[in-house]
Each structure stands twice: as structure tokens, then as C-alpha cells.
Amino acid sequence: MQDIKKKIDDLRAKLRYHSDRYYNDDAPEIEDFEYDMMMRDLKALEEQYPEFDDINSPTKRVGGKADNSFEAVEHTVRMESLQDAFSKEEIFDFDRRVKEVHDKVNYVVEPKIDGLSVSLEYVNGVFSRGSTRGDGDTGEDVSGNLRVIRSIPLKLNKTLPFIEVRGEVYMPKKSFERVVDRQLTLGEKPFKNPRNAAAGSLRQKDSSITATRGLDIFVFNVQQIEGYELTSHKQSLDFLKELGFNVIPFYEKVSSIDEAFKKVEDIGETRGELEFDIDGAVIKVDDFEEREALGSTSKFPKWAVAFKYPPEEKQTKLIDIEIAVGRTGVLTPTAVLEPVHLAGTTVSRATLHNQDFINDKGVNIGDTVTVRKAGDIIPEVLCVNEKNSNGNYVFPSVCPSCGEAVVREEGEAAIRCNNPECPAQLLRNLIHFCSRDAMDIEGLGPSIIETFVDNGFINKISDIFHLDKDKIAALDGFKETSANNIISSVEKSKDNDLGKLIFALGIRHIGAKAAKLLSDHFKTIDAVMKANTEDILEIEGFGQIMAESVVDFFNTEGARELIDELKALGVNTESKTIITDNRFEGMTFVLTGTLENYKRSEASKIIESFGGKTSSSVSKKTSYVLSGESSGSKLDKANALGIPVIGEEEFEEMINA
């Protein structure tokens, strides 16, 4: 067994070394394939010999269901915020206040990373806990999610009894673009900027999601340390590098405030070229004893100041407006500009958001406009400086991708194409169509669908049912077994209930439950397609917007053609709900809490088989609330409204009567 343990330890050491060379030094020594093979061998050994499990093993980097519940962490050393300065005069005022205590000081200047501040704790050189800053005194334990950030060392190069460091978790610009592209593909609301993306990713309950987000970290401070003496900030940053941390880049020690501000300006000139966001630069007193004498206010340390860069603005000419169709059908206008240098990069395109934004700013082709980088990432048009056109730009009335009429729903700023066969929306529609609550085609996940689209196997939804087993098996990474499984799952999906098909079509405002209500009420897809708004409004739970959305969808030529194709391919288009009897007819049940003998889906099917309906919210129209363990606000609302509340015993009596 000692030989096995040694082999496991050796593999872990090699993987840590090569991971460090790749992520921290940007100097890989082996190919990805060789690294992956070592990781596979280690995983196999750990599964075979669980007695040698280690929470800090490199295999844990891929993440899993987070075992932390974001418990509160009291910070022993307060994680202070910094006082902001917005002008050279304010920086020199800071220097004057420092000089009132110390005649001569050295400063360290470093970039201010725009991310999420965290604390990392190590006991005997091993990562033990990580937490968010919170309010400075109390944060949250996010250890599980921090472990999957590959640039965070799980074991230090030197063993210290204890050290706590502070760093900034951030999302590199390339990772941000990739994450937003994926969110748009899946029809999700995208993150607004890299900082929000980093914060949202770090607080995922499932650390395997965090692991896919490409987060990184820069460490910039020693909060506490035992077993080693540090006397200055510059010395501490150098020491953190020796320990294996990814330390804040291009920090510099200077001897005057003039040099410090020059460094601030130099950092500002390069910010547009960096692979990460910065929103300023920080000037810190270098000597720790001098810091001690300066102290802190109730909010900020007196020995540091953060200079915040103003957003840069430039004027240029708007030479064209292009309309793109997003994967959710939304038409998005982009300004094509005469190139202008802005925040370190050449800008030739900028967002115009939507028609309301264009009308508000009075924008049209040929105008001279002011452009700014919003959050130093996405260029946007601020205003019109010189009007060289007549009126405002007006969106096209048809989709530029498929030619179908576009619609703007009441209360929404977005103008969209609702055609399910629109080429611009293909990938997102395919992913939704195959998802679990929709057609539930096992084996056709997002990455597989992308592969099939890239290889020309799928060009529209109906192509899913034309997939060729031999062509799939011939692809890299696929075998005959996996190809057979996919084809089998596709065939099985043809027998789904009509409700799943309606939901799979991706009709705006129609979720899985509403799709089931349409199926149960109209019984066939033909009846749904013929229904007008008034017919659909007869269904309890349907409002005007939902009803109009269904009618608008089936009025598109693409939707009607798709249904005809699916029918010809043998896809079921009829309701399969079997009514045992009508004892629950006219009744609406709300399920809450954890049921002991039924899954909620099972209880819902039973209710529907007796002619009843289920709802996700309690109202005066609710007939019964079926309550299990840990029932929450729904139970409280039922009691407040006087709605009858039943348990499983009473429910079983009702269905067995």
C-alpha cells in the first residue's frame, strides 16, 4: 500500500508542478494530452483507494456539488476598503497627510483589479479556507469554489504555520466573452461585465459550474503570517511570489509622490491592452511600521489611496448601423464607426442597445457621435454631437436573417423574430428542443449539438430526426455505442406527450406547465394552431400576453412548416393525458415542501389523471395545498387565505376513495 500512496503522491506533485507552469508561469513543459493522461491515472487510483483521499488533490480542481453552504466567516484582520481619489490634487493631498506623520516615505504603486476581494488561509502550507470580503468584518466561506481556480495554490512552496493573504478574484476578458457567448446560446440573461460575472461565478452552489468559468486571481496583501517576519509591502509581494501565489502584476516601489503619480498614469495608459479589468491604481505606504503609525479611519486605512480612472470619451462619425439577430431572436443594432483610439484600443463598433435608445439619443447614419467604453469593456454611443441626417434610424420590419415579420411585445424594449426555424437562432433553439423538460433527448447536450451543427449534420430542428448513426460514429470522440444511444434516444422522443413538444418549440412566455395546459385543453397540435387569443384565454392561468404569444408563434410560416415536418417524421402531436375519472375536475392543487411517498411530478400526474390541475403559486382560486416537510411561504399564504391544507394521508384518501 505504501507503493500505491507514493504513486498517488508523485502524480499529485507532478500535476501541481505542471499546473503551476501552465497557469502561473505561462510556460508549459508538457502537452495537454500528457497532463490529461496523468490526471486520468490519478482519478482512477483515488477511486480505487479512497483511504488516500485528499481535499486538496489536483483532481478536485474540476469541482462538484459544493459542500459548503456559504457559512459566515469572521475576519480576524479587517478587510478594509480604500479611499478613492479622482484627481492629481487629491493624490497630493493624500501625500500631504502622510507627510504630517512621516517626513519621508516610500510608496508602492500597483493596479486596482476590478473583481471580488477574497481571503485565503493556509495552515502548515496547505489551503484550509477561503472567504469573501463581505462587509469587511464578516464574509462567506467559499472554499469549495476557490479550490477550482487553478491559479490558487492548494499547497505552498514553503511550509509556514499559518498565513492569510488577500487577493482579487477576477474573470479575464477572454473568459468573459466565452461565458457571455454561452449564456446567449442557452437563452440566458448574460452577465453585464466581468466583475459581475466573477462574483456570480464564485457564489455558485455547484463548484463544477465555477470551474468552467475561467476565473483567475491576483494576490496583493498579507493579512496575517506566522513563522516569517515581513517589514514592508514590497518585501511581502516578493515573498508571496516565492510561495507560489499569482501576485498583482507590475507593482513598483517609488520614493516620491511625483514618481507614484507618474506610475499611476503609466498603468492607466496600458489598461485597454490588458487581459483583465482594472478600474484604477493603488498607492500604498511601503513600510509596515509607518503604516501602523498612520492607522485607519472607521472606513479606510490612512496609508493607502485608490486613484480611479475616468472613462475616456472620443468623437467620431457613425457610418452605418448593422442589425444582428441574437440566439434568442432579439434584433440588436450595432453602430459602425470611423475608427478611433479609445482606452488603449482602436474602436470601430459600438452598441446602440435598442430602438428606444436610438430614439432617445436621436441617432442616425451620418451623425457625429461621442463614444465611450462602458466599464472599459463595451464601447457605447453616448450622444449625438453633430446631426448630419434626417430623423432617427428605424429598425427593419422583417428579420434580416430569415425574412419573417418581427414583433415588439407590449412592455418590452426588444424587437424580435419569433420564427423557430430562423438560422440565427438555430443553436439555442436546438439546445432547448433537446433539453430534459422539452423533448428530453438523452445524449444531445449543448456541446454535442454544437459538434453536429459544425459538421453540418443539423441545419434545422427536424434534422435531429434524420441523424445518421454511421456519420456520428465516424466523428472523433464517438463510437458505435454512443451513436446507437443517441439514435435510440431520438426515436424514443417521438413518443413524448404533446405538452413536451409544445414546450420544446420555445414559444415566448410558455413554460413547461403552460405547455401542458395547452396540450390537455386542446388535445392536438392542430387544435392549438387553430386557436385564437380568446380560445386560449379560457384556460385558467393564461393571460393576454401568453395567449397572444402562442397565436403569434403559430402564425409564422416557419412554425407551421416545422409542425408539418415533425408530423411526417412520426413525432406525436396529441395529448397522452388519460383521465381516470373527473373527481378533481375544476380543482387546482399547489404542492409545497418535500413529500415522503411521491415525487412532485408523480403527485402532479395523479392529480391530472383525475381531471385536476396543479399550479406553482397559491391564490384565492387554489382548491388545496398539498404540504410536505419544510413547507415555506406557500403554506403561510394558504393559511392566510384560508385555503385547505392537506398532507399525504389525506391526499391518498382522496385518490383511493
CA distance 281 to 196: 20
* Count helices and strands in the chain by DSSP H and E runs: 24, 20
CA distance 634 to 649: 19
For the record, the C-alpha cell of 339 comes out as: 475608427
CA distance 35 to 114: 32
Angle at 377 between CA 376 and CA 381, to 5 degrees: 85
CA distance 393 to 34: 55
CA distance 416 to 562: 19
CA distance 388 to 364: 8
CA distance 426 to 464: 12
Of 624, 612, 621, 623, nearest in space to 583 by CA: 612
**DSSP code, position 622:** -
Write the CA distances from 629 to 643, 649, 654, integer angstroms: 18, 13, 20
Of 575, 511, 520, nearest in space to 543 by CA: 511
What is the CB-side half-sphere exposure of residue 469 using CA atoms within 13 A? 12
CA distance 433 to 493: 11
CA-based torsion, 362, 363, 368, 372: positive or negative = positive
C-alpha gyration radius of the chain: 30
Q: Is the CB of residue 309 less than 8 Å from the CB of residue 271?
A: yes
Helices (H), 24-101: 32-48, 88-99
With a CB cutoff of 8 Å and minimum separation 6, the contacts of 36 are: none
Q: Is the CB of residue 540 less than 8 Å from the CB of residue 613?
A: yes
644 SS3 class: coil
Q: Is the CB of residue 504 less than 8 Å from the CB of residue 572?
A: no
For the record, the C-alpha cell of 208 comes out as: 463544477
Secondary structure E strands in 216-312? 216-226, 252-254, 278-285, 304-308
Q: Is the CB of residue 133 less than 8 Å from the CB of residue 176?
A: no
Rounded to a whole number, what is the largest CA-CA distance in the chain? 91
Active-site hit among 112, 284, 516, 634: 112
112 in active site? yes
Residues with catalytic roles: 112
